[in-house]
Every structure is written in C-alpha cells, then in structure tokens.
Amino acid sequence: MSEPIYVVGHQQPDTDTICSALAYARLRKNKSEDVVPARAGALNPETQFVLDRWDAEVPLLLDDAADEQLILVDHNEYSQTVTGTEHAEIVEIIDHHRIGDIETSEPILFRNEPVGSTATILTQLFDDANETITTQTAGLLLSGILSDTVVLRSPTTTDRDRTVAGRLADIAGVDYETYGKDLLSQKSKIGEKSPREMVLSDFKEFDFDAHQVGIGQIETVEPSVVLGQQETVLEAMDDVATERDYAVFLLLVTDLLEEDSTALVAGPEIDPIEEGLDTTFTDQESFLPGVMSRKKQVVPFLEEAFNSTGP
Ligand SMILES: [Mn+2]
C-alpha cells in the first residue's frame, strides 16, 4: 500500500485551516486518491463548535511530518508548519497569505490567491473539478470564510468571498449573518483560558530579515476580558518572548464590534513595531484604530520596518 498524502494547515490551527484540510482531502478522495486530512495542533473552541455543528470528523493530529508527503493549506512558511516539514515532501500548496520561504526540489502546484480565506479558493477548486458541494462541505467552507473574514467585515474580504459565502450559505441552509454571530461568540470564549493559553491560541511566528517575531491575535466581542488582566497577560508575553528568544512578541486584541485593536508588546525590539504601525507604545500598550487584520494591516508593515533595520 502506498503512503497517504496528508493535507495539513498551520500550527495553532484555526477554523479556515481545519475546514480547508477537511474539504480538500474530501475533494481529492473523490478522485480515489489516498489523501488524509490532518492538523498541526489542538482545536480552538470555535473550530470544535464548527465540527460539532456540521458533524465532521476531527482531522488526525500530525506531530512529526518528516518523510511524509504533504499538501499545505492556509500557510506557506516554515515557521508556521507542523514539526518535521523541512524533511517532508511538499507536493502542493493552497493558500491566501504572503509568499513565505517554503522550498521544494520539484515543481509543484502552488495556488495562492489574495482572497479572504483558503476556503474561498477551495470552493473554486470544487467547481473546477465539477464536484458537487454537499451540505456538510458547504457548512465547513462557509465557516472558514466567515471565521477568517470576521463575517465578511475584515478588510481582507473580497467580492469573491461575499459571493462564495452567499452561495455556500444557501447550500448549507443557514443565514450567514446569524450563523456568523454564533461563530464569533465561540471565538470570544477566552474567559476560562490561562493568560499563556490566551496569548498563544491564535499565534503565528515570522522571520523578518532574521528577526524572529511572534504575532498573536485575540478576536473578541469583549476586549475588556483580556485587557482587564493586562498585567498577567503581559507577564505571559514576556515569558514567551524570553523563552523563544523573540525580537518581539506583538499581541492584537481585536474588538470585533468596534472594529479596532489594542496592541500589547513584549521583547526588546519595540522600535520597528512603532515605526511599522505608526504608533507609540506606553506601558507596552497602544491603540490601533481600524486595525482588524494581522495579515493585511500588520505583517507587511512590520516586515518592511524590520527589513530597513537590517539583521
Ligand atoms: Mn486562512
């Protein structure tokens, strides 16, 4: 028997990453290929809610990808991949982020589009393959779009996301505003987490010109739950930044209702953050009006600021 190909998303998996892995494995399996959905870590409460809601299986936990064949979804940089990916064979990538540092020895299919979610691209792939999207698959893909775009409100949202979401909602038989609100309330379930779990739950690591930068985001309808325990949250961030030797650890506490963010920062290199985001931190805190998207409104500006400081 030949070895399976694993479809896997990024570490600290979110709903788009998990639902994209499930949907793409399903599409490839329809062509009788041995493709298995996998995940790089524990499910967050929102994603658990989605899998329960649509009665979908939990993807297999892949803790070491060395020597495996992988399809990467929803990411394309080594700092975000499952352990061992440097020694795996990457056979395909489907993503909607900046092009990172993944290298392959053979030419592969690399589909990257500037849309609001990987689920949006996957819907297109089902159409291209003339495959019917079932109620369950529509529910999963819709969840990926609504989660990544904050129910089509994030500045990353494109017209295509809106059109696709409308269509998937019809197939799934839900009103996407109502269903989206249910999702957002799950996203906000942070009260029972420790500060460390909170700051690392939606977390990505970047290599900006040899500076290791961690960027976490907490999207919530109740930012006061996080900001009310700011001292312990900052302690947790300081610990992580020291342990992992980060240049900086930035946390965005995004208010989903007001559509802005409060940024908290830990680690030695705060200057490029202030420069990149055109802000000033007081007591490791600053307010970022209108900022909702890590990918679009934060990462490119920090990368540019760190590039201009040199390694
Ligand atoms: Mn995504």
Give the three-state DSSP class for 152: coil
Q: Are 154 and 127 contained in the same domain? A: yes
Rounded CA gap, 130 and 295, in Å? 31
- Given 138, 167, 185, the domain boundary residue is 185
Looking at the structure, do residues 162 and 209 belong to the same domain, yes or no? no
* C-beta of residue 80 within 8 angstroms of C-beta of residue 205: yes
**Ligand 1 midpoint to CA 233 (Å):** 25
> In what order do the strands lie in the sheet containing 203-208?
203-208, 211-220, 248-255, 260-266, 285-288
* Pair 61, 109 in one domain: yes
Q: Tens digit of pLDDT per residue, the chain (311 long)? A: 578 999 999 999 999 999 999 999 999 998 888 999 999 999 998 999 999 999 999 999 999 999 999 999 999 999 999 999 999 999 999 999 999 999 999 999 999 999 999 999 999 999 999 999 999 999 999 999 999 999 999 999 999 999 999 999 999 999 999 999 899 888 767 667 889 999 998 999 999 999 999 999 999 888 888 888 899 999 999 999 999 999 999 999 999 888 999 999 999 999 999 999 999 999 999 999 999 999 999 999 999 999 987 66
With vertex at residue 209, the alpha carbon angle to CA 207 and CA 213, rounded to the nearest 5 degrees, is 35
User: How remote is the CA of residue 6 from the centroid of ligand 1, in Å?
Assistant: 18
**Do residues 79 and 104 share a domain?**
yes
d(CA 198, CA 211): 23
Distance from Cα 157 to the centre of ligand 1, integer Å = 11
**Are residues 115 and 232 both part of a single domain?**
no
Q: Identify the domain boundary among 185, 202, 225.
A: 185
Looking at the fold, whether 128 and 64 belong to one and the same domain comes out as yes
Does residue 51 sit in the same domain as residue 34? Answer: yes
16/150 same-domain check: yes
Q: Which domain holds residue 213?
A: 193-309
How far apart CA 155 and CA 178 sit, in angstroms, is 20
Four-residue CA torsion sign, 282, 283, 284, 285: negative
Domain count, the chain: 2
CATH number of domain containing 14: 3.90.1640.10
Do 66 and 84 meet the contact criterion of CB atoms below 8 Å apart?
yes
The CATH number for 231's domain is: 3.10.310.20
99 with 234, same domain?
Answer: no
Asked whether residue 146 falls in the same domain as residue 224, the answer is no
| Domain end among 185, 215, 250 | 185
- 10 plus 56 within the same structural domain: yes
Distance from C-alpha of 198 to C-alpha of 10, rounded to nearest angstrom = 18
47 CA to centre of ligand 1 in angstroms: 13
Question: How crowded is residue 298: how many other Cβ atoms within 10 Å of its Cβ?
Answer: 22
Q: What is the DSSP string of 67-84?
A: T-EEEEES---GGGSPTT
Same domain assignment for residues 201 and 294: yes
What is the distance between the alpha carbons of residues 171 and 131, in angstroms, rounded to a whole number? 14
Contact 229, 250 (CB under 8 A): no
Residues with CB under 5 A from ligand 1 (ion): 16, 74, 117-118, 148
Determine the distance separating the centroid of ligand 1 and the alpha carbon of 69, expressed in angstroms: 21
- For the stretch 171-180, what's the b/e string if a residue is b when 16 or more beta carbons lie within 10 angstroms of its beta carbon? bbebebeebb
